[in-house]
Amino acid sequence: MLTNEQREKLIARAIDAYHRAYAPYSDYSVGAAVLTKSGEVYDGVNVENAVYPLTLCAERVAIFKAVSEGEREFSALAVVTRNGGTPCGSCRQVMAEFARDMLVLVADLEGKVVGEYTVEDLLPDAFGNADLDEALP
Ligand code: THU
């Protein structure tokens, strides 16, 4: 469970990051912040490219930054857009890799929470490492 203060802080970090998004092609900025079980926060923004498919979403940037610093356990992720858009399918799959019970807060630029989910809500029965184990001979 997150305290109200932790939720507000996480959303504030995502809003702060939002302003650093690199989105010249879509003009749709996204900011994200992920809270680790150890209490650290890593933020991320969408990073677009002139070769459009190379774009990386804010949620994945935040999670990959955290993982590359040695983090593996997450308790919450906040994502902020101008209209409260929800995480894309690829980001949901990456979230499911690490934390199916993670809280996902979807908020707008005023910090108003417009959606609150677990990763399991967003991607039920996700493919995961257990499926690979079963497939092994
Ligand atoms: N985007 C994200 O950063 N996260 C999502 O979950 C949805 C989409 C970005 C990718 C692209 O830069 C822009 O939003 C429009 O699709």
Residue 132 pLDDT > 90: yes
User: Which are the catalytic amino acids?
Assistant: 59
pLDDT for 133: 82
CA distance 62 to 59: 5
Q: How confident is the model at residue 137 (pLDDT cuts 50, 70, 90)?
A: confident
Checking if the pLDDT of 134 tops 80, the result is no
**51 CA distance to ligand 1 centroid (A)?**
15
**Which residue's CA is minimally distant from atom 10 of ligand 1?**
57
Instruction: Write the pLDDT tens digit of every residue in 29-70.
Output: 999 999 999 999 999 999 999 999 999 999 999 999 999 999
Report residue 1's pLDDT band, with 50, 70 and 90 as the boundaries: confident
39 burial class (0-12, 13-18, 19+ CB within 10 angstroms)?
Answer: exposed
**Rounded CA separation 108/85 (Å):** 8
Task: State pLDDT tens for residues 96-126.
Answer: 999 999 999 999 999 999 999 999 999 999 9
Predicted confidence (pLDDT) per residue in 16-35, tens digit: 999 999 999 999 999 999 99
Q: Which atom of ligand 1 is nearest to the CA of 87?
A: 6
23: helix, strand or coil? coil
Percent of the chain with pLDDT over 70: 100
Going from the Cα of 135 to the center of ligand 1, the distance in angstroms, rounded, reads 33
5, pLDDT greater than 80: yes
∠52-55-58 over CA atoms, to 5°? 150
Q: Residue 6 — φ and ψ, nearest 5°?
A: -65, -40
Task: Please tell me the pTM assigned to this model.
Answer: 0.96
Query: Given ligand 1 and candidates 19, 25, 30, which is best to mutate, with the most ligand atoms within 8 Å of its CB?
Result: 30
Pocket test for ligand 1, best of 52, 57, 79, 105 (most atoms within 8 A of CB): 57
